[in-house]
Amino acid sequence: MRKPPWYTLLVSKPEDGTWGRSTVETACPLDCPDTCSLSVSVERGQITKIDESERHDLTGNFICNKVRRFADRIYGVNRLHHPGVLKGIKGEGQFERVTWDKALEGISARMIQIRDEYGAEAILPLSYGGSNGLLSQDTADAQLFRRFKTSRLARNVCAAPTTTVTDALYGRMPGVSYDDYQHANLILIWGANPSTSASHLVPHIRNAVRSGTALIVVDPRRTSLAKEADIHLAVRPGTDVVVALAIHRFLFEHGYADTSFLDNHTHRAEILRERAKEWPIDRAAAVADIDAELLERAAEMYAETSPAVIRCGWGLERNRNGGNAALAVLTLPAVAGKFGVRGGGYSMSSSRAFHVDENQWIREPEPNTRIVNMNHLGRALTEYDDPPVKMLFVYNCNPAVTLPDQHRILNGLNRTDLYTVVFDQVMTDTARWADVVLPATTFFEHYDLALSYGHGNVQLVQPVIEAVEEARPNADVFSDLASKLGVDVDELLQTDMESVIHVTNMLPDIVSQPLLDQGVSPRACPVQFGDTFPRTDDGKIDLAPEELEQKAPEGLYRFRPDPNQEKYPLVLVSPASDKTTNSTLGELRTRLAHLQIHPDDAESRDLATGDTARIYNDQGEIHCMVVVNTDVKRGVLSLPKGLWRQSTMNESTANALVSDELTDLGDGACFNDARVEVARIVTATLDGQDIALWATPETGQNRVH
């Protein structure tokens, strides 16, 4: 085995048991486009400070406050220290300490019993990004579950629509890199909020704006970049497809469509042109509830300015029209002829450009077993019966708060005949429902590789402290479980360190000498249609891909209005927050979360800042405080994503109101499509007890809680 030089950097306890001081370089692999380099101070084996590291040019100036205080998670009261088995009632979070051996024996016995009785498909492994490192999943875990022939999981909670669309249009072509934003004369940020979700892109945007670059933001919220923008199109959530189609129509009708580019590099432009015809500026503006003149000005600016780059985010994909929205937005640079110059084109996720094929090291084909879309977890746990889900093995994921239809998921987790294993770093809301909890290491305690889906660098993640108490890395635990089950796991995947070495040796395109020497790979900044071209069969862009046309319920470039709009006129969105990464670190939120509401919506419901409100629809309700301001559009409410149940007054979070309907393309989640109503909650005292009263708009009467 070729051992990379950093192999020797492992910080281990000195022989004499005394710890010195050291500073260790690593990287943050959390699910965020920026994957910052970190410089971590360690004293006596404990982390004392987490800082940025100059090792990485793009992230070397600052890191986020979340990760700065990650030690509060590592050493916090919520940390899982030992394996435990349920003691008492599910959901209460009481566990009895057991040894690793006993815990894994118990799990393996139950897996065998379930397989014998119901078939192995009754076991559902559920994982998503976790710390999002390349190796925190799809190594030993995948080998084990494939060989055991459990149900398979469609990991569609995030980026499924945008990935489906970019793959079909551009086939994993790399996007415009952060570095090249300075060359753009127009930056169009569509459904992204980099100030929170990719903060190292922001200095590049601001530098460009300072030197005269125009900025357009399309977002139902007045984000901090929207406040600085030349034009802010505060669209109604889910209407992006018609806004983008109106811009296409404008380009075609006013002679801005780049016909030579379309002829040479695309197919089926006429379909796009035809469908865009249906969306004159006025009609689209009315549907999106924006000013038509402003939309026309944005279209004109985009048409006339080059280089122009579109930063497409994930906010626009999370609704019933999300796939078509991404399609209409990501085809704009092709029609407007924006490619071929530095700073021109689009950026989406860069992770697909890496060409990583996990099957190389999983070395076991996927079995032909049932596929469960993780967005349908609640349904799977409560309705699937062929076979029913009898065991749920959760790792790298916190479904009780991050997946759609929270109540249905909690009802499922509450089943006494469901055996749930939760392998996590802390006692999450999901872990409270476990039959067995297993303690996982954090990325400060194990090896991994951080692949940035923003800037495109790959970095080494290495332990800076020893594992806290009995926490263990994923690979180690899954290979141990496999051996108890009598399932083979490759020797080279049995620990996180072996996996990193093994996998890096298999990725010569990614793992270059600089990564091995300094922990950071070099970054490519290719010009789209200059240095890099669509990785499609013929190198061209199919503007209306046949396979997508068949999948979309009403075809491509179509808008589907919401049938519930009358009953529930408000839309709840739940964007990324600067306090958490998804729900990771949510345990550290000490204050209750608040809902943002526009003054007009608040006034008609007699709500003022500081009031407690009930946000509800047919699926459930959330009780929390409101803050009234114009940072959200009229008709739109906003509550942060990733809240733990402790952060609202009734332990329900945004996903209690999010249905498990899937997006038009890619079978993704409709997080920003929750149709709701809001009412004020008044508290009163009755017989010495606090009770809550609220007015329901339908009846105008008060109800007692």
Ligand X SMILES: Nc1nc2c(c(=O)[nH]1)N[C@H]1C(S)=C(S)[C@@H](COP(=O)(O)OP(=O)(O)OC[C@H]3O[C@@H](n4cnc5c(=O)[nH]c(N)nc54)[C@H](O)[C@@H]3O)O[C@H]1N2
Which residues contribute to the site for Mo ion (CB under 5 A)? 158
Task: Give burial (CB, 10 Å; 0-12/13-18/19+) of 397.
Answer: buried
Q: How far is CA 246 from the centre of its chain?
A: 29
For residue 656, the partner it binds in ligand X, Mo ion, none, with Cβ less than 5 to 8 A by kind, is none
Which residues face 346 on adjacent strands? Answer: 310
674 touches 562 (CB < 8 A): no
Binder among 229, 672, 675, 679 for ligand X (CB under 6 A): 672
Using rule CB under 6 A, residue 573 touches ligand X: yes
Q: How far is CA 369 from the centre of its chain?
A: 26
List C-alpha distances in Å: 326 to 197, 350, 620. Answer: 18, 15, 29
Could you say whether residue 614 binds ligand X (CB under 6 A)?
A: no
In the complex, the smallest distance separating the C-beta of residue 659 from ligand X, rounded to whole angstroms, is 12
Q: How far apart are the first and last CA of the chain?
A: 64
**Alpha carbon 307 to chain centroid, angstroms:** 29
For the bound state, the minimum distance from the C-beta of residue 684 to ligand X, rounded and expressed in Å, comes to: 32
- CB of 201 within 8 A of CB of 194? yes
DSSP string, 345-393: EEE--SGGGG---THHHH-SPPPS--EEEGGGHHHHHHT--SS---EEE
The yes or no reply on residue 577 touching ligand X (CB under 6 A) is yes
Strand, helix or coil at 677? Answer: strand
Query: Nearer to Mo ion by C-beta: 158 or 288?
Result: 158
Residue 163 interacting with ligand X (CB under 6 A): no
For the CB of residue 498, give the shortest distance to Mo ion in the complex, in Å: 29
- Among positions 220, 323, 534, 545, the unique one binding ligand X when judged by CB under 6 A: 220
Select from 156, 164, 462, 580 the one that contacts ligand X (CB under 6 A).
Answer: 580
Nearer to Mo ion, 158 or 674 (CB): 158
Q: Residue 158 or 298: which CB sits closer to Mo ion?
A: 158
Minimum gap (Å) between residue 470 Cβ and ligand X: 13
Residue from the set 164, 185, 398, 648 that interacts with ligand X by CB under 6 A: 398
List, in sequence order, every residue forming a beta bridge with 449; answer none if it has no partner: 460
DSSP 181: G
In 545-593, which ranges are E strands?
570-573
In the complex, the smallest distance separating the C-beta of residue 581 from ligand X, rounded to whole angstroms, is 5
- Find the helix packing angle between 474-485 and 496-506, rounded to 10°: 100
Q: CB 651: neighbour CB atoms within 10 A?
A: 15
Smallest gap from Cβ 79 to ligand X, in A, equals 10
Kindly state whether residue 313 participates in binding ligand X, applying the rule CB under 6 A: yes
Tokens read off for 205: 């945007």
The C-alpha atoms of residue 324 and residue 442 are separated, in whole angstroms, by 37
Min CB(127)–Mo ion separation in Å: 14
Q: Report the residue number, 527 or 628, with the smaller CB distance to ligand X.
A: 628
Report if residue 393 touches ligand X, rule: CB under 6 A.
no
Q: Check if the beta carbon of residue 529 is closer than 8 Å to that of residue 265.
A: yes
C-beta of 83 vs 666, nearer to Mo ion: 666
Which of 25, 141, 180, 219 touches ligand X by CB under 6 A? 219
Q: Does 532 bind ligand X (CB under 6 A)?
A: no
Of positions 495, 582, 652, 663, contacts ligand X by CB under 6 A: 582
Residue 507 or 572 having the CB closest to ligand X: 572
Confirm if 428 and 580 have CB atoms less than 8 A apart.
no
Q: Over the range 293-323, which residues count as b (16 or more CB within 10 Å of their CB) and which as e? A: ebbbebbebbbebbbbbbbbbbbbbbbbbbb
- Please choose, out of 111-119, 353-361, 392-400, 528-536, the segment that lies near ligand X by the rule CB under 6 A: 392-400
Closest CB to ligand X among 262 and 392?
392
**Can you tell me the distance from the alpha carbon of 469 to that of 471, in angstroms, rounded to the nearest whole number?**
6
Helix pair angle (240-253, 322-330), 10° resolution: 30
Among 428, 479, 504, 528, the residue binding ligand X under the rule CB under 6 A is 428
Whichever of 28 and 257 has its CB closer to ligand X, that residue is 28
Binding mask 113-152 for ligand X (x = CB under 6 A): ---------------xxxx----x----------------
Q: Does 221 bind ligand X (CB under 6 A)?
A: yes
Q: Which of residues 430-449 bind ligand X (CB under 6 A)?
A: 440
- Shortest gap between Cβ of 31 and Mo ion (angstroms)? 6
Give residues in contact with ligand X (CB under 6 A): 31-32, 128-131, 136, 157-158, 190-193, 196-197, 218-221, 223, 235, 237-238, 240, 313-316, 318-319, 395-398, 402, 423-426, 428, 440, 474, 573-578, 580-584, 641-642, 654-655, 658, 671-672
